[in-house]
Chains A and B, each alone.
Chain A
Amino acid sequence: MMLTRPTLALFVCFGCFAFLATADEPARRAYERDVRPVLKALCYKCHGPDDDKGGVRFDQLDPDLVDGSDTETWHDALDQLNRGEMPPPKAKQPTAEQRRLLTDWMVSALRDAAEARRFKNGRVTIRRLTRYEYANTMRDLLRIDLDFARELPPDPASQAGFLNNGATLEMSPTQIEVYLKAARKALADAIVTGEQPELYVFTQTKTAVGKLPNRKVAGHKPVRPEFVLDLKEFPRNGEFELKVTARAAIPNDQGLPRMRVSMGHVPGIIHVPRGKVGEVDVSDKTETFTFRGRMEDFPQPGPIAFGNSGFKGMIVLIDFVDADGNELRYPDRTYAQPPAKPQKKPGGKKKPEPKNEPATVSFGSRLDIEVTSVEFKAPAYTSWPPPSHQRLLFDSQNSDDEPRYVRELLERFMTSAFRRPATKEEIEQTAQLFEVIRPKTDSFEEAVRETFASVLVSPHFLYVVERRDPQSGNHRITDFELASRLSYFLWSSAPDQQLLQLAHQGKLHDSKVLKQQVERMLEDVRSSEFVCRFIDQWLDLDALNRVAVNPEYFPDFDNELKQDMQKETQAYFAVLLHEDHSALELLDSDWTMLNLSLARHYGLQGPRSSRFEQVDLKPASRPGGLLGQGAFLLANSNGEDAHPIKRAVWILDRLLDSPPASPPPDVPELDAESPDLARLTLKEQLEVHRQKESCANCHQGIDPWGIPLENFDAVGRWRIEVPRHKKRPATAVDATSVLPDGKKIDGVDQLQRYLVEDCSEKFARSLVKRLMAYGLGRSLDFGDRKAIQTLTSRFVENDFRLKSLIIDFVQSETFQTK
């Protein structure tokens, strides 16, 4: 839900006395008699008529937690009291009796409020599909591989960082328009009319030769492709398939070379291909690589013949790069250029077909790739009409009777789109739309497309809907609703046939069946959606894209590494999940997942290709776990140096679920004059910062968590020295700090040990809470406390195994009720 930290709950409800009248009389009397005097004695000094520290005034807080507007503030007050943060150590402390009285009152009032609210308003359980859920659902429903969400605006993150929170996900006219447009586009693709479009097939075994510019044109660097496929004729849309057969020569066990395939044109500059079709590692075995894409995704040449390059149509370009991404260029090769005049380049004899017959060096003696054939095919239909058409407009004995036939079609389509059986009434209503449209359209197919488009903008499709059942008091969701919860949790897409089948049979909620299904779903490739989405959002890996690495400091840093870092963390989590490791390995371990470029970046050895593989960190003595991973380290730096505050906030928020409060208004700046901050290391600057009383309050609890990571520079490489910069001399890294509880920590190893030994339960709870918020698609509230506790205990008992946590969660009442 919205931000609800105490410092933000500044707003006092002046109308609260009006509400009191509606509150339970005896409860209010009990509050006035027992609770208020204790609050007055302990809290009013700072949070009362004379002061409103953090914007909280207990004298004005509404004690009616059911109807009042201060419930979340009470909730926070309880948390702080329980954590011993309030009253602060210097202030008067509550007696055991007072503490108990306050806690008892708050806990019971909150429980009543949560229960009451749930029954009265209910939580927001209806939730719009996120951008990516919508894209996946459309793709799975229509079996068309197109990014349908491209034109949708991005979704907002909830306070806990999740994009799938029903309350935060909104709807706007723009979105409705995009949904309708996307639906029409998709259906025009899925349901076809007429004859199969002409198939374009084109094969080349040798590169085409033409003139390519050898200097910059309009800011675009010249390209020197190894292989050019020159398509004279090609369709303007639809799916294409590109098959490239190649093998590599890899002497001396070097990293595998890569082949980069791109297509299309920069408008106006025909030689420069634009869209990347794909990039693959090439081994020394001959292999055929298949790339797929949509023609409309690649900029195409205009109808006019362009320039005098010698290339006539769409061009596909293939480049070879070594494992580090550097192009493999050899002076004795002439690439896809016309034969050069013989006098150039001593020693290199020129031939018209330079690619496959290097003049001087035979294939095999140096790092190289050989492309033996390239085949282009478009539009790449496996059949006609395409499978999507056959699925949506299936054969029926009624196909001559349009009204009957369309109702049959709708029943099937709406049932998969709505993820539950469509009712007779719904089908009839939609069929009537068809009848309105049909007389105005030329073909049955076109009318069906338009009718089906209405299904794809229906609230039943765009939202995950859980109906209220006034009859059953237990708020249990139906088996079909359970199927959707499961599939959006673990696949970020609609339930498949098997889940719907089990729901139809009423078996899905059976705990044995559920367990089997979760296991099946996690084994399915679609579970990579869970791994990536959950990890990205929980750990805020998108922050990588919000940091610009300063090339002045890191001249060798390649921005592609950011993606590798994100993949490292995703792949690491995937192993923990699929191989059933302890989730504590997120805090500490001695291995990680690396590919060649990232391993190089960390100064490690092992992987030879872009594929991620498990790497043992023991010999390298680089710490494992999230705290040693570039995704965390770089995302929480400023692109020049490590940033202990950012790193600390991340640990507190994402791993320990104790995010520091937001910065208050009117934060003072540091004085420029004294002392000269520029000469100080960041750690020293932070000390100056903390000396200021107004900063100290918060930062004493923050900074010490980030300082032990000082051995990692901004881009996540190990360092023992903070390099010299301008006026500041080089200094040895000082990674010692004292945590708020007095624990002395020296460096990342000790921090990791501390986290594992002293914070494992806190971490477990944090992970449980984030997993629940993600799985339920809503913010957790007081009503979830028991479930959090139970799941956390079970998780700890089960040695922090993620799979069993997921199964427990799915089998829990929380997952199966609204």
Chain B
Amino acid sequence: MKKSWHIDRRTVLKATGVSMALPWLEAMGAPDSASAELPRRMCAILFPFGIAMPKDDAVDREWGWFPTGKGKNYQLTNVLKPLQPLMDDISIFQGLSHPRCRAMNGHDTGDTFLTANSLAPVTYQNTVSLDQLAAKQIGKQTRLASLTLSTDGGVGPRTRTTTLSYTDKGQPIPALSDPKQIFERLFGEDGASRKDRRKLQNSESILDLVMDQSRSLRRNLGVADQRKLSEFETSVREVEQRVERSRSWLDVPLPKVDRDSIGLDATVDAPKEYLKAIYELQFLAFQTDLTRITTYQIGSYGPSRARKFPGVLGLKPDWHGLAHAAGKKGGPENIGRFDQFLAENLASFLARLKNTPEGDGSLLDRTLVLYGSSNSRTHQNRNYPLLLAGGTKLGLRHNQFLHFDDKTPMSNLFVTMLQALGLNTGSFVDSTGPLDGLT
């Protein structure tokens, strides 16, 4: 007897602590699209400060981030060892970076990890990020177009932002950081009741009114203030669209997720539990198809709360200090152990996606997970440690360690990702084409 994938999915949901109220099947896709195509998803993750790069003959080479060898003949070091069982779904890259960002300050490139552009002078204006570009198309099909997360939350200061996502105008999108907050955003509001319906209608009238107020206020302001207030108007307009979208979801009940199955109380004071919760929430968002695009910045290059993660875990303290000392005697192991911890967390997330069936494969087969840092050695904006997981059903080949020279922009990887996501895109910022060797 062959079951349809829908049913499989439900069984799995039950097993993973998610109990779903009918009609769940409709909730799989947007109510207005009857397309049978399975979702394509993307998650991008950045960690700051770079990694250890001991020479190949060094005694502590095992604590370097990059594997040894090349192509199909590569060996993971201790650091990425936790990913070993998943390597059929992973490619690792050496040599990629954003050429336009190489001359930027060593700590400024978190801002541009997904935008590939150097920041504009003085204003530090950014441009649209990979995830938001994808969300413009893919996001239409889900309740939330995208989900932006970071350990520090908010947008943070320019050049040290605490978010990876930027709108098409280059404005940073505030990240959520508290698991409870994220849960609320995902599963908190069900638009089904009559009262909610009325509220949505009211919301539209309320937003109209404040928009009018803003417009007439604008006439009484100086130029700089007018520009500031236009942020307000853009945001209100965007919320209007979201409200509009919520209305089309009114008849589709929100998936019910058992909040106790996620460690929502986890705080940054317990990195292990915290990362677990953040990954779990992204997993649930994908599984329930609330969104298909997420970003997560594990730490910012600025005064990040994540700096203390290694210390809390009982490793050598201060992430930034570890990265600085990565070249010192014993340094590779000190930072390597922490990078290994991060890889373990990533591995659990990937395994979770891998173990969740979808269609004739798994969630991971149709989810691209980009993971890496925008520093190699700390303060060095080239040769980013990077890997891409998932997407074998989107046409990607894996289980390889690809080397590139520094003429190949990382944007080529972005082009490949966008194409795998089904976007009809030939270029991204400084790309010269898709990335060789992935498809």
> Which A residues have a C-beta under 8 Å from some C-beta of B?
2-4, 7-11, 13, 69, 72, 120-127, 150-151, 153-159, 166-168, 170-177, 180, 184, 267-268, 274, 426, 429-430, 433, 436-437, 440-441, 450, 453-454, 457-460, 462-463, 465-468, 540, 542-543, 545-552, 638-640, 662-667, 669-672, 676-678, 818
Extra A-B contacts (18), CB below 8 Å, given A457-B207, A467-B221, A669-B328: A3-B158, A11-B120, A13-B121, A151-B184, A153-B153, A154-B153, A176-B232, A440-B202, A454-B210, A459-B210, A460-B217, A546-B308, A639-B308, A663-B107, A665-B104, A665-B381, A672-B327, A677-B329
Name A173's contact: one of B152, B235, B307, B380 (CB within 8 Å). Answer: B235
* Nearest-neighbor residue (CB-CB) of A120 within chain B: B223
- Contact call A124/B210, Cβ cutoff below 8 A: no
Closest-by-CB residue of A relative to B213 is: A458
Contact B155 A156 (CB under 8 A): yes
| Any A CB within 8 A of the CB of B305 | yes
B203 at the interface (CB under 8 A from A): yes
- Specify the chain B residue showing the minimal Cβ separation from A418: B213
A209 nearest CB across to chain B (Å):
28
Contact of B220 among A150, A274, A454, A467 (CB under 8 A): A467
Interface string of B157-177 (1 = CB under 8 A from A): 111011000000001111111
Contact across chains for B157 and A158 when beta carbons are under 8 A apart:
yes
Contacts of A166 in B (CB 8 A): 228
Q: Which residues of chain A have C-beta atoms less than 8 A from B318's C-beta?
A: 547-548, 638-639
Q: Tell whether, in the assembled complex, residue A154 and residue B159 are in contact, meaning their CB atoms are under 8 Å apart.
A: no
CB of A716, distance to nearest CB on chain B (Å): 16
B88 shortest CB reach to chain A, Å: 34
B224 part of interface (Cβ distance < 8 Å): yes
B407 proximal to A (CB < 8 A): no
How distant is A467 from chain B, measured CB to nearest CB, in Å? 4
Assess A122 versus B225: contact at CB under 8 Å? Given A2-B158, A9-B121, A666-B379: yes
User: CB of B26 within 8 A of chain A?
Assistant: no
Q: Given A10-B103, A460-B217, A670-B327, do A171 and B225 touch, yes or no (CB 8 Å)?
A: no
Alpha-carbon separation in the docked complex, A463 to B202 (Å): 23
Say which residue of B103, B203, B225, B236 sits within 8 Å of A126 (CB atoms).
Answer: B225
Name the residue in B104, B121, B222 with the highest tally of chain A Cβ atoms < 10 Å from its Cβ.
B222
For window 21-45 of chain B, which residues contact chain A by CB distance below 8 Å? none
* B residues at A contact (CB < 8 Å): 102-107, 120-124, 152-159, 161-162, 171-177, 181, 184, 198-199, 201-203, 205-207, 209-210, 212-214, 217, 220-225, 227-229, 231-232, 235-236, 238-239, 242, 259-260, 265, 303-305, 307-312, 314, 316-318, 321, 324, 326-331, 377-381
User: Using Cβ atoms and an 8 Å threshold, which residues of chain B touch A457?
Assistant: 206-207, 210
Q: Are B329 and A550 in contact (CB under 8 A)?
A: no
Known A-B contacts A2-B158, A11-B121, A548-B311; A174 and B225 likewise in contact (beta carbons under 8 Å):
no
Report the Cα distance A817→B152, complex, angstroms: 35
Contact between B213 and A426, CB atoms less than 8 A apart = yes
Q: Which residue of A lies closest to B124 (CB)?
A: A2
Cross-chain contact B171 with A172 (CB below 8 angstroms)? yes
Which of B124, B202, B308 lies at the interface centre, i.e. has the most chain A CB atoms within 10 A of its CB? B202
Q: Is the CB of A157 within 8 A of B122?
A: no
> Which residues of chain B are within 8 angstroms of A167 by Cβ–Cβ distance?
224, 228
For residue B302, give the distance in angstroms from its CB to the closest CB of chain A.
9
Q: How far is the CA of A602 from the CA of B327 in the complex (A)?
A: 36
* Chain A positions within 8 Å of B324 at CB level: 669
13 A-B pairs within 8 Å (CB atoms) are namely A2-B122, A127-B228, A156-B156, A172-B231, A437-B205, A457-B210, A545-B305, A546-B307, A664-B106, A665-B103, A665-B106, A669-B328, A676-B329
Among residues of B, the one whose C-beta sits closest to the C-beta of A125 is B225
C-alpha gap A545/B181 in the complex (Å): 20
- A468: contacting residue among B201, B212, B222, B377, CB under 8 A: B222
CA distance A156 to B308 in the complex (A): 20
Cβ contact within 8 Å between A459 and B222: no
Task: Write out the residue numbers on chain A whose beta carbons fall within 8 Å of the beta carbon of B153.
Answer: 153-154
* CB-defined contacts of B214 to chain A, threshold 8 Å: 459
* Across-interface contacts of B202 in A (CB, < 8 A): 437, 440, 450
User: Which listed residue, B121, B157, B235, touches A176 by the CB 8 Å rule?
Assistant: B235
Pick the 10 closest A-B CB pairs, nearest first. Answer: A122-B222, A548-B311, A11-B121, A548-B308, A669-B327, A153-B174, A154-B154, A173-B238, A153-B154, A639-B317
Interface pair A459/B201, CB less than 8 Å apart: no
Partner of A638, one of B222, B225, B238, B317: B317
- B175: chain A residues at CB < 8 Å are 153
- Residues of A within 8 Å of B171, CB to CB, are 170, 172
A641–B393 CA distance with the chains assembled, in angstroms: 51
Taken together as a complex, chains A and B put the C-alpha atoms of A4 and B159 apart, in Å, by 12
Which residues of chain A have C-beta atoms less than 8 A from B106's C-beta? 663-667
Instruction: Name A678's contact: one of B205, B310, B330 (CB within 8 Å).
Output: B330
Asked if B206 contacts A453 (CB within 8 A), the reply is yes
Q: Which residue of B lies closest to A638 (CB)?
A: B318
Closest Cβ of chain A: how far from B227's Cβ, in Å? 8
Which residue in chain B gives the minimum CB-CB distance to A73? B122
Decide yes or no: A458 and B260 within 8 Å by CB, A126-B225, A153-B153 being known contacts: no
Cβ contacts under 8 Å, B239 to chain A: 173, 176-177, 180
Looking across the interface, which residue of chain B has its beta carbon closest to that of A173? B238
Residues of A within 8 A of B176 (CB): 153, 174
Cα–Cα distance between A168 and B314 once the two chains are bound (Å): 36
In the complex, which residue of chain A has the Cβ closest to the Cβ of B380?
Answer: A666
**Measured between alpha carbons, how far is A236 from B199 in the docked complex, in Å?**
23
- Evaluate whether A69 and B121 lie within 8 angstroms (CB atoms) in the complex, with A170-B231, A429-B212, A665-B106 already known: yes
- Please give the distance in Å from B113's CB to the nearest CB on chain A: 15
* Nearest B residue (CB) for A166: B228
Q: Which listed residue (A126, A153, A175) contacts B235, Cβ 8 A? A: A175
Task: Give the CA-CA distance A187 to B159 in the complex, in Å.
Answer: 39
Contacts of A175 in B (CB 8 A): 174, 235
> Which B residues are CB-close (under 8 A) to A430?
209
Q: Do A429 and B209 have beta carbons less than 8 Å apart?
A: yes
Contact A268 B260 (CB under 8 A): yes
The reply to whether A662 and B107 form a contact with Cβ atoms under 8 Å apart is yes
Q: Which residues on the A side are within 8 Å of B380 (C-beta)?
A: 665-666
Query: A463 contacts B232, CB within 8 Å?
Result: yes
CA distance A402 to B231 in the complex (A): 36
Separation of A546 and B304 alpha carbons in the complex (Å):
7
Q: Are B224 and A3 in contact (CB under 8 A)?
A: no
A547 to B239, CA, bound (A): 38
Q: How far is the CB of B324 from chain A (nearest CB, A)?
A: 7
CB distance from A670 to the nearest CB of B (A): 6
Q: How far is the CA of A122 from the CA of B154 in the complex (A)?
A: 27
Also in contact, A669 and B229, with CB within 8 A (given A176-B236, A437-B205, A664-B105): no
Question: Which of B154, B223, B307, B326 contacts A155, CB < 8 Å?
Answer: B154
Q: A468 — which chain B residues lie within 8 A by C-beta?
A: 220-222, 225
Task: Name the residue in A2, A13, A450, A670 with the highest tally of chain B Cβ atoms < 10 Å from its Cβ.
Answer: A2
Of all chain A residues, the one with the shortest Cβ separation from B101 is: A665
A498 to B81, CA, bound (A): 67
- A153, B155: Cβ atoms under 8 Å? yes
Q: Is the CB of B228 within 8 A of A678?
A: no
Inter-chain contact A669/B105, CB cutoff 8 Å? no
Rounded to whole angstroms, the CA-CA distance of A120 and B226 in the bound complex is: 13
Query: A123 contacts which chain B residues (CB < 8 A)?
Result: 222, 224
Taking CB atoms, residues of chain B closer than 8 Å to A10 are 103, 121
- Contact partners of B377 in chain A: CB under 8 A: 669
Residues of A with C-beta under 8 A to B156: 156
Shortest beta-carbon distance, A685 to chain B, in Å? 9
Smallest CB–CB gap between B223 and chain A, Å? 5
Inter-chain contact B303/A546, CB cutoff 8 Å: yes
A157 to B152, CA, bound (A): 12
Residues on B with beta carbons closer than 8 Å to the beta carbon of A176: 232, 235-236, 238-239
Report chain B residues within 8 Å CB of A124.
224-225, 227-228
> How far is the CB of A714 from the nearest CB of chain B, in Å?
9
Distance in Å from the Cβ of A703 to the closest Cβ of chain B? Answer: 15
Instruction: Give the CA-CA distance A543 to B206 in the complex, in Å.
Output: 40
